Structure 1
């Protein structure tokens, strides 16, 4: 029996995992050498894997993938802390796809799926929120400079936890004698003033360093508190859902 015109000979196909397909779709082919592309590829791959493990259909998988992608884009749009705004945006996206209220929202996910997605994103993405922020946003630098007109300056740089502080140290010129034919004295009358200014600048530098350290510590504590509050929200929502089902 001969092969008909509509038949095709068996062909060998190369196995390709989901990560390769995602890399091509989102132009992340350099993920092996580019750390940012590798991080995005891991985020997208495990999002798709989560959808497959919980038997999401095509519409649900597409919507959940878009929710994670939009949340990440909101995170990296600014180098300033915005974890609270991002989590609020993430919850709004979830409820927008879990409540039937056309044309504003649609009931694409059930309450059980809503709790699963919330727990997954909080325990994976928001737990490493600062790492994503560090990898995808520019580093913030604080530059402080003091200058006085008519006086030379010597800049001193102090690096503190990714911030740069530049404070010039003022060194007055030695006083010149007005009379011609005479030389300046070995010790300028402005020497006490120079020592006083140097001492005051050293004190201000120490206070500035302490203020920067306190601000970084306060920011770290504030972020930890917000993350702890966010982790409690999904558990309470799941508990209230179980109570309604009973």
Structure 2
């Protein structure tokens, strides 16, 4: 089975200019006229065409509403608000398009998107945010999204389950064994009568090899299952260690961006 055909794997993301990409000037006029949370949710739901069931719908609208409130508190104009809403949307789509951990790619993508809107280099980038605004926005994205990227991924991506079936070569299938076992009680009386007619030595000769064969098969099955469980536990342990190493590396990278909690009050 091709894993990539079933589950989308992390890949490199290319930034682009997002000014008026999702939120037009008329949309910003409507958003600026809304001052209550329900009104903002209703306006943003129409702008971004949020058509997902709960709880995804509520989480997504809350993300957009808080972004609008942050833009108002930071005195960002309509162009900047439109671009930042699209940046948040792109980061969220990049994070939730795959079940696998791609936080490192998402963080690099976030920095490239902000750089694409802070340097005047047409047609590749525009000077929309100042360096101070970029730092302020990056801290906001870190605190509101990147720190909770696992929660967003858990809500918006399907869970991956491994379903394995083992086939033992050279051994009878379970269906045949079950059919033989179910047919045995029907001929039990006939088997008893046959045993009375057979010598005792013949009975011993016919039953001992069959019991030994069944016992060896059970032992073989138990040994294979035990070995398989040990190998799977080893693989899971290696995956958990790799995820922990990636998380520690990302935390050390993002540590300088965390706000100083002991700064000015």
Q: 1:74, 1:86 within 8 Å by CA — same for their partners in 2? A: yes
Match of 1:136 in 2: 156
Deviation at 1:153, TM superposition (A): 4.9
Which structure features the higher share of helix residues?
A: 2
1:92 paired residue number: 112
Q: What does the per-residue CA deviation read over 1:56-114, in whole Å, with 9 as the maximum and x for residues that have no partner?
A: 00111111111110111111111111111111111100000111111211111011100
Aligned to 1:23: 45
Deviates more, 1:198-207 or 1:37-46: 198-207
From 203, 210, 227, the counterpart of 1:204: 227
Counterpart of 2:237 (choices 202, 214, 218) is 214
Pairing of 1:43-82 with structure 2 (within 5 A):
43-82=63-102
Question: Structure 1 residues 153, 45: closer, same or farther in 2, change over 3 A?
Answer: farther
How many angstroms apart in 1 are the aligned matches of 2:52 and 2:92? 20
In structure 2, the residue matched to 1:224 is 247
CA distance in 1, matches of 2:155, 2:122: 38
Query: 5+ unaligned residues in a row in structure 2: which ranges?
Result: 1-34, 182-193, 261-265
Aligned equivalents of 1:53, 1:96: Cα separation in 2: 23
Whose RCO is larger (CA < 8 A, sep 6+)? 2
Q: Which runs of 5+ in 1 are unaligned?
A: 1-13, 155-169, 175-180, 239-246
Which of 217, 224, 232 in structure 2 is aligned with 1:194?
217
CA change 1:212–1:119 in 2 (3 A) is same
Secondary structure in structure 1 of the residue aligned to 2:207: coil
Separation in structure 2 between the aligned mates of residue 41 and residue 153 of structure 1, nearest angstrom: 53
Cα distance change of structure 1 residues 72 and 230 upon mapping to structure 2, 3 Å threshold? farther
Q: CA deviation at 1:36?
A: 0.5
Q: Tell me the CA shift for residue 233 of structure 1.
A: 4.7
In terms of fraction of residues, the more strand-rich structure is: 1
SS in 2 for 1:185: helix
**Structure 2 CA distance for partners of 1:40 and 1:153, relative to 1, 3 Å:** farther
- In the alignment, which residue of structure 1 is the partner of 2:126? 106
The CA distance in 1 between the partners of 2:139 and 2:71, in whole Å, is: 13
Q: Is the 8 A contact 1:127 1:227 kept in 2?
A: no
CA 1:119–1:39: 2 relative to 1, 3 Å:
same
TM-score relative to the length of structure 1: 0.70
Contact 1:126 1:227 in 2 (8 A): no
**Cα distance in 2, alignment partners of residues 24 and 211 from structure 1:** 49
1:116 offset after TM fit, Å? 0.6
Q: CA RMSD in A?
A: 3.2
Deviation (angstroms), 1:149: 4.4
Measure, in 2, the Cα distance between the counterparts of 1:46 and 1:226. Answer: 28
TM-score of the pair, normalised by structure 2: 0.65
Does the 8 Å contact 1:83/1:129 carry over to 2? yes
Which string of whole-angstrom CA distances, capped at 9 and with x for unpartnered residues, describes residues 173-225 of structure 1?
99xxxxxx787526523134223313312422430442254145324413431
